[in-house]
Amino acid sequence: MSDLRTELKQSIIEQLNLEELTIEDIDNDDSLFGDGLGLDSIDALELIVLLEKDYGIKLTDPNQGKEIFISINKMAEYIESHRTK
């Protein structure tokens, strides 16, 4: 379980060019948007692509992202129950 969370943090740092951050800087419950990591709407699009590319999860309703991309824990839980690869 923790491997998936570490993998997600690594992917997010690489995909979103968060060069200043390391895996240790991101807590599993930190908010990804707003006051947490401070991600924005372009990052949300990148995360939607990341879900499909790495885990075979296709979000048909972009509004779903608001619930899934709350934190690393929430993302991991969603991936664990919906992944196709």
Partner 1 sequence: MSRAVYITGIGAISAQTEESIFSEKPAVYTSNIFQAISPNFKEYIPAMALRRMSKAIKMGLTAGKIALQDANVELPDAIITGTGEGCKQDTEKFLESMLSQEEELLTPTSFIQSTHNTVGGQIALNLKCSGYNVTYSQESASLESALIDSVLLLHEKPSLNSVLVGGVDEVSNKITSFGFLNGFLKQEEIENLSLFSHKSEGTITSEGAFFFNLTTENKKDSYAQLKAVSSLKAESSIEVSEKITEFLLKNSLRSQELDIVFLGKNGDLDQDEIYDELQNTIFSESCQLAYKHLSGDFNTVTGFAIWLSCLIFRKQQIPDILKLNAVSGANPKNILLYNLASNTNHSLILLQKP
Q: Does 46 bind partner 1 (CB under 8 A)?
A: yes
The residue to which tokens 């951050």 are assigned? 21
Distance CA 15, CA 73 (A): 18
3 binds partner 1 (CB under 8 A): no
Q: Of 29 and 49, which has the nearer Cβ to partner 1? A: 49
CB 28 within 8 A of CB 37: no
Are 44 and 65 in contact by the 8 Å Cβ rule? The answer is: yes
Among 25, 27, 52, 80, binds partner 1 (CB under 8 A): 52
Residues 6-45, one symbol each (x = binds partner 1 by CB under 8 A, - = not), give ---------xxxxxx-----------------x-x-x--x
Q: Do residues 82 and 18 touch, judged by C-beta distance below 8 A?
A: no
Binding site for partner 1 (CB under 8 A): 15-20, 38, 40, 42, 45-46, 49, 52-53
